A and B are shown apart, each in its own frame.
Chain A
Amino acid sequence: MNALRRNVLKGAAGAGTVAVAVAAGLLKPTQALAGVPRSAFEAKSVGDALKNMGAVSPADSKDITIKAPDIAENGAVVPVEVTSNIPGTSAIAILAEKNQTPLVADFGLMGGAEGYISTRIKMGQTSLVRAVITAGGKSYTAAKEVKVTIGGCGG
């Protein structure tokens, strides 16, 4: 499974973090292996989130389409649709770059699942919405700016 391999490939440091989280009871072992480590979801910057995901410098790709509104009147509900035409797409992550924790969701795809995800996200402010695709052990990315009139993260 790709998610497992991603964790393993990250080597001692990453595996250590996960092991500590498991030991502390924060994660059930099954959860630790399912998708990206939770630490990526707590990262406060895009760079840290990517690092924790094991996708440090993804290559820009024109084969990724992000469908999202140019202007979102309500930042609490921003529809985002990501389509990856990259062969072998095995994961799609969605990041809202200026959110307090940029990584919104990561979707591991397997068993015939197409490179397509449609969901709704919260955005604190106008920012790039970035999709990071994993395919064949490599990372690819594309981004689209969404202007937010009213922030949706509360506070």
Chain B
Amino acid sequence: MAEPMRIRATMAGDVADVKVLMNHPMETGLRKDAKTGQLVPAHYITDVTATVNGAKVLDAGLSGGVSKNPYLGFKVKGPKKGDKVVVNWVDNKGDKNSAEAVIG
């Protein structure tokens, strides 16, 4: 059910620049459906974690205040080309998704 996410990691000097694009509606629960007038139930990513070669580097909590299809960029010092970055997310309905990339 969860759509694929995009992730890219490139080395710039000794810092890996990781960019992630997640597919998610990120409903705050405050928006009304234009047709029915009913509130659209909250549905957003609550937790995002990232690891480099299995070691955790990012542990994020999100709210519905993050834009639809969340974009996330972060930088990690130390990895080498060819190292593996894995990003996981979980939403408030228990859906989850994961993507990995090799640092290039």
Q: Do A and B come from one complex?
A: yes
- Interface residues of A, Cβ cutoff 8 Å to B: 3, 31, 34-36, 38, 41, 76-79, 81, 96, 99-101, 103-114, 116-122, 152-155
Q: Inside 8 A of A108's CB, which chain B residues have their CB?
A: 58-60
The number of inter-chain residue pairs (CB within 8 angstroms) is: 124
B61 with A41: CB separation less than 8 A? yes
- Interface residues of B, Cβ cutoff 8 Å to A: 15, 19, 26, 28, 30-32, 40, 46-47, 49, 52, 55-68, 70-79, 90
A109 with B28: CB separation less than 8 A? no
Distance to closest chain A CB from B37 (angstroms): 11
B55 with A111: CB separation less than 8 A? yes
Distance to closest chain A CB from B90 (angstroms): 8
A122 with B56: CB separation less than 8 A? no
In the complex, which of the residues B57, B61, B65, B79 contacts A121, with contact meaning CB atoms closer than 8 Å?
A: B65
A114 with B77: CB separation less than 8 A? yes
Q: Inside 8 A of B72's CB, which chain A residues have their CB?
A: 117-119
In the complex, which of the residues A35, A103, A152, A154 contacts B59, with contact meaning CB atoms closer than 8 Å?
A: A35
Distance to closest chain B CB from A115 (angstroms): 9
